[in-house]
Chains A and B, each alone.
Chain A
Amino acid sequence: MLSWTDQSLKVIPYKLIEGMIVAAYAIGANFGYIYCRAEYPLAISRLTHCIHECEKYGLLGDNILNSKFNFRLKIKKGAGAFVCGEETALIASIEGKRGMPKPRPPFPAVSGLWGKPTVINNVETLSNITSIISKGAEWFASVGTEKSKGTKVFALSGKIVNTGLVEIPMGITLEEVVFNIGGGIPFNKKFKAVQIGGPSGGCLPMSVIKTQVDYESLKDVGAMMGSGGFVVMDEDTCMVDIARFFLNFIQSESCGKCVPCREGTKRMLEIIERVPVAYKEGIDKYDQLQRFKGIIGLKRLADVIRDTSLCGLGQSAPNPVLSGLQYFKDEYEEHLFDRRCRSGVCKELLTFTIDTTLCSGCGLCKRKCGTEAIIGQKGEAHYVLQDKCIKCGMCLETCRFCAINVN
């Protein structure tokens, strides 16, 4: 199964193919599928080419190298559904059905694709087989910690100098990954958090930056290894906004089969969406209390979702929110009580004004403003009409004279 980090496949598909042949030989399988997102056309075309080459040299097909062992590989293109990463949903998708998870047991190893025993593994796992077989288990185990052996590939991205794929030995600290390998944060900004493990993972702050990268340690601090996504955030990233972003994602990707995930994450999203709202005249005087109560109830809601969802998507959906709440409580409180977003991301809490001394009157912002909230004569200072402004930030992006102030 191919995801984000497995972009390395663009480079070394033969390692995967060999690993799959060995794995198939071990379990006596004659058919293998590589499930790859259709969004990665380059990976698909390289894989297709490599499979053809292997077939040409008799490494795939019937009676491989006179071993009487037959094995064929097929690429299945995903059709854009995150939940299809879940193993039972993946099987449903290959069978041509809606990719909805099923309760386990029966586990795929007992009854999987077409009702036959099936083994599902990550691309990284399968690619490791080749090196382990040829160099031995001791060699593989010589790298890593006591419980997490070997190496792990991460996709560094976000606010970090060196982006791209890195393979690190298990057990080095997050700090080393961010500041040594990743080269730190660009533009002298301050590190705020690193999000590990994709939408199921957590956001880890500076206070736990000395955490070792291994399965157990990451779990202890509220994140997980997951897909190997490693997104670095700096002081310009708002943690409330990140929580809202992930909940939105989960909401649109939830398959809708079970209630806790389908409805519960919707309620979580509603609670989070009420945090960054601006104060308005005539607002219900209990509004503040309600928003606060929402956050208090969030933890319980999250526990129910985690314990009762059918598949990993729902079970891990609360993680990014909970870790944010745990490590960035002060930021939530600031949004709730002071109605302020220190990173300037929650647009609703901002006021846009034009510095009349810097404005050249070019009129660019006026043309860009979608709600006609900016007025002014060409060549003269422009003004923002606050009640028309929807705080979209377009004027800020377009002004070439840095005349737009935000606070």
Chain B
Amino acid sequence: MPLLEIKNLKLDFIAGDRNLRAVDDVSITINAGETVCLVGESGCGKSVTALSIARLVPRPPANYVGGEILLNGRDVLKMTKSELQAIRGGMVSYIFQDPSASLNPVFRVGSQIKESLKLHRPEKATDAEVIRLLKLVGIPAPESRIKDYPHQMSGGMQQRVMIAMALASEPKLLVADEPTTALDVTIQAQILDLLLDLKKRLGMSILLITHNLGIVGDMADRVAVMYAGQVVELAPALELLRRPLHPYTKALMNSVPKLSGNMQRLQAIPGNVPSLGNFPSGCRFYPRCPSAQPECAKTMPQLVEVEPKRWVRCLYAKPL
């Protein structure tokens, strides 16, 4: 049984008398010890999907319209308040893009980590355990840092503290929502290295959200590409990077310049990412798709397994 199985998830945001579908028929599984990357441009539904795993999207405005989220076989969408409390920050921990927004500015970092321990492993709510966690996430001289306030730390250090807090409950699944987007490249490299190392040592699963395809190759076992609320391609990471099958994945990879790549003109994707409530009918990518056919305007493609382990949402995706 997979650790997490999101099946045909559908979520609307209620705006006045309109129901805007933000997540539409999303299916993703994550096995124990596996890292899955969720990639896509801003607004495509990555965060809403990820937050749904612990049902953290506020309802209203959100409304779950269909599907299930099986965590160890139990549907999160059917859980009671107290069951949800237990998994939040317990079996599932989150880290976000902006650590300074998640840390409380008026409490010392050591006591914030201790709070997290009290909640989930009260017998371990000690200075020694806090120091062990800070050491685990690579904070130098942790004994002297537990008394620091968040603002006394750099962005990279704050992100390490967030990771330490997330690890306090010994989660089975770490959801990292663009954890390095706000950081400089050299600090991003440190944090990615840390996540790889932790995964190896602790054997947890990671759902890593990013808009940077470059990160996928370094981090992911499998990858799901989202566009306009839907998963359009799901595949083992290296296979997807070597041979993308969906026209959107291909176009995205061709449109970004590569380091030491050739200097030819970039192949831009025409038009803009459609906003919520303005998704085209039929295939959502068809107004921008270089391979579009007349049929694409009428029929919405389903996510189908076109080759073993390779799922694609395109009417014209052919098996090898």
Do A and B assemble together?
no
